[in-house]
């Protein structure tokens, strides 16, 4: 008998959850929270009064009860009100004794949301991690200390993005202090230097914004100003807006960048001309060589994919072999597992038109994206399995070459629902009949524009596991792009591709 059926009260909770939409943990309404409180009192009221509030209860008993409520919360994600209540009730119980700190950390991670409140939520998570680190012996503090530093750094980045510069400086200071307090000196010293680099990069971002404003004004005064076009082109490259960048680079006539002004005038996007502009720029601008040549190769690949009989195919194939791949310039803390790779489309199905890389210029972060269509109109179909080359190790405490966080972009162009499965965990959009503890709704309505999803894979699944599979299901058509893994949310946020600039 499954464990959750051995306790009749837990079974009652699950039946209550079954009366609402499954596979989601959306923000609850006041009415849903009130109903969640009622269910909690009916099922756990007496035990909560005795163990949770009782002065005679032992810390170990409170932690055990807190873990019990946490497990119930994991089984109640489909009822937002009850899920919120169980999380709030379980957190203080798990903090009653150090043995409960690992569960408290999971609860705080689960409570993280996107938006203006995220820095404060990260600070609350950091407070639990700090308690957990201080409760450990000095030689065992590193695992909590390392995550504590990353959480403070992510909070600083979040504050910076929100324009809260003073708070960002405070969090960077806390990150440095945490590194010194909980990490060995040999580990802390280079980390403190990295944090100082973060602060310097933010200053660089301010300069970037000022330069962008300056070049924009210069181009308004004189559209063909070569120096302004060169500066604007390089700024746009750093923002991932390669097509717009190439147009400015093509107009730059200073000695270090010589490209013809008549480039990039054809429609749709002339991949070969854009690629030639990038290659010419890469051969003449030393500081941006790797990035520019990588974009040149991407453009040539797109040209052949959109027109296999391209009149210049022989030259393009030769250049693709010679030029470096963009993936080789990805920071070591993240990895692109799906970004316009044809092998992934092949793994999802061999049928014509069912799964393919669509080169329409409408990808999230580039010209192409993975598109999966149902073979039978208006009927849900699932395709996929193991993907060649996918052997990504996931871990709660990632070492180099291991990852924890997932980010991808998704949109539905036809149909009422879709899902993406990565082996042991599934993420759904729209109305879905999936009912599983490892199925999570990321959007109640199907997104017709690109939706970026970020998930903690270890927290969602409950344990480490290897990621080697991809399955996609839909009753219409769904597009997926820019699937990345990262060791920390902060690294994903910093290096994840920027959305393609639209006109």
pLDDT in tens, 62-91: 999 999 999 999 888 878 899 999 999 999
Query: For residues 355 and 348, is the Cβ–Cβ distance under 8 A?
Result: yes
Q: At which residue do the structure tokens 């957990």 appear?
A: 132
pLDDT at 485 over 60: yes
pLDDT at 10 over 60: no
Please tell me the predicted confidence (pLDDT) of residue 295: 74
User: How does strand 451-456 pair with strand 355-359?
Assistant: unpaired
Please tell me the predicted confidence (pLDDT) of residue 240: 61
Residue 384, phi then psi, degrees to nearest 5: 135, -170
CA 61 to CA 51: how far, in whole Å?
A: 7
CA 427 to CA 343: how far, in whole Å?
A: 22
CA nearest 473: which of 376, 356, 374, 363?
Answer: 374
Output the furthest CA–CA distance in the chain (Å, rounded). 83
* DSSP β-bridge partners for residue 359: 368
Please tell me the predicted confidence (pLDDT) of residue 305: 74
CA nearest 420: which of 432, 404, 402?
Answer: 432
Please tell me the predicted confidence (pLDDT) of residue 20: 37
pLDDT band at 9 (very low <50, low <70, confident <90, very high): very low
CA 455 to CA 254: how far, in whole Å?
A: 45
What's the Cα-to-Cα distance from 246 to each of 261, 278, 282, 292, 500, rounded to whole Å?
11, 7, 11, 10, 13
Instruction: Look at the pTM and tell me if it is higher than 0.85.
Output: no
Please tell me the predicted confidence (pLDDT) of residue 446: 82
Q: Is 469 left (phi over 0), alpha (psi -120 to 50) or beta?
A: beta
HSE (side-chain half, CA atoms, 13 Å) at 309 = 0
Please tell me the predicted confidence (pLDDT) of residue 348: 63
pLDDT band at 437 (very low <50, low <70, confident <90, very high): low
Query: Which segment of 58-72, 116-130, 314-328 scores lowest on mean pLDDT?
Result: 314-328
Please tell me the predicted confidence (pLDDT) of residue 120: 93
User: How does strand 469-474 pair with strand 417-421?
Assistant: antiparallel
Please tell me the predicted confidence (pLDDT) of residue 326: 58
Q: Which residue has the higher pLDDT, 90 or 372?
A: 90
CA nearest 398: which of 333, 325, 305?
Answer: 333
CA 235 to CA 209: how far, in whole Å?
A: 9
Q: Which of 24-28, 299-303, 386-390 has the largest mean confidence?
A: 299-303
Rg value, the chain, Cα: 25
Query: For residues 372 and 472, is the Cβ–Cβ distance under 8 A?
Result: yes
CA nearest 358: which of 503, 243, 500, 479?
Answer: 479
Query: Which segment of 3-12, 158-167, 301-310, 397-406 scores lowest on mean pLDDT?
Result: 3-12
Query: Which segment of 170-174, 314-318, 458-462 scores lowest on mean pLDDT?
Result: 458-462
User: How does strand 392-394 pair with strand 466-467?
Assistant: antiparallel
Question: How many CB atoms lie under 10 A from the CB of residue 438?
Answer: 18
Mean pLDDT of 405-417: 89
pLDDT band at 349 (very low <50, low <70, confident <90, very high): low
Please tell me the predicted confidence (pLDDT) of residue 4: 37
Please tell me the predicted confidence (pLDDT) of residue 221: 83
Q: Which residue has the higher pLDDT, 230 or 257?
A: 230
Query: For residues 295 and 326, is the Cβ–Cβ distance under 8 A?
Result: yes
pLDDT at 14 over 50: no
Name the average pLDDT for the chain.
77
- pLDDT per position as a tens digit, 144-168: 888 899 999 999 988 887 878 788 8
pLDDT band at 121 (very low <50, low <70, confident <90, very high): very high
């Amino acid at each position: 008998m499954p464990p959750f059926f051995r306790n009749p009260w837990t079974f009652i909770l699950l039946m209550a959850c079954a009366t609402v939409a499954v596979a989601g943990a959306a923000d609850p309404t006041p009415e849903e929270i009130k109903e969640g409180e009622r269910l909690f009192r009916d099922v756990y009221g007496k035990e909560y009064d005795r163990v949770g509030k009782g002065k005679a209860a032992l810390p170990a008993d409170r932690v055990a009860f807190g873990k019990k409520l946490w497990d119930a919360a994991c089984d109640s994600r489909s009822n937002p009100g009850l899920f919120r209540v169980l999380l709030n009730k379980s957190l203080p119980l798990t903090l009653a004794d150090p043995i409960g700190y690992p569960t408290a950390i999971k609860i705080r991670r689960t409570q993280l949301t996107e938006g203006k409140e995220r820095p404060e939520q990260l600070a609350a998570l950091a407070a639990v991690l700090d308690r957990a680190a201080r409760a450990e012996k000095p030689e065992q503090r590193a695992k909590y200390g390392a995550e504590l530093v990353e959480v403070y750094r992510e909070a600083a980045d979040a504050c910076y993005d929100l324009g809260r510069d003073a708070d960002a400086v405070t969090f960077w200071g806390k990150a440095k202090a945490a590194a010194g307090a909980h990490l060995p000196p040999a580990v802390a010293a280079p980390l403190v230097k990295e944090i100082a680099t973060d602060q310097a990069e933010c200053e660089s971002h301010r300069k970037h914004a000022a330069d962008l404003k300056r070049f924009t004004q210069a181009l308004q005064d004189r559209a063909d100003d070569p120096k302004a076009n060169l500066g604007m082109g390089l700024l746009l490259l750093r923002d991932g807006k390669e097509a717009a960048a190439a147009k400015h680079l093509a107009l730059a006539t200073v000695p270090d960048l010589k490209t013809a002004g008549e480039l990039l005038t054809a429609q749709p996007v002339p991949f070969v001309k854009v690629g030639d502009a990038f290659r010419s720029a890469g051969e003449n601008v030393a500081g941006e060589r790797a990035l520019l040549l990588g974009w040149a190769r991407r453009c040539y690949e797109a040209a052949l994919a959109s027109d296999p009989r391209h009149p210049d195919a022989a030259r393009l194939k030769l250049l693709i072999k010679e030029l470096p791949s963009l993936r080789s310039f990805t920071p070591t803390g993240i990895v692109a597992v799906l970004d316009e790779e044809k092998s992934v489309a092949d793994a999802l199905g061999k049928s014509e038109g069912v799964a393919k890389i669509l080169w329409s210029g409408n990808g999230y972060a580039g010209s192409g994206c993975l598109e999966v269509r149902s073979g039978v109109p208006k009927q849900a179909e699932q395709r996929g399995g193991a993907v060649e080359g996918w052997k990504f190790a996931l871990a709660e405490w990632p070492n180099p070459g291991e990852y924890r966080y997932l980010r991808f972009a998704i949109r539905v162009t036809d149909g009422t629902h879709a899902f993406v499965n990565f082996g042991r965990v599934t993420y759904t959009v729209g109305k879905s009949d999936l009912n599983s503890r490892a199925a999570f709704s990321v959007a109640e309505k199907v997104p017709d524009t690109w939706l970026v999803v970020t998930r903690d894979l270890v927290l969602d699944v409950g344990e480490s596991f290897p990621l080697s599979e991809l399955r996609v299901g839909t009753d219409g058509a769904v597009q997926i792009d820019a699937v990345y893994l990262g060791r920390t949310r902060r690294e994903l946020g910093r290096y994840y591709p920027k959305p393609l600039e639209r006109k």
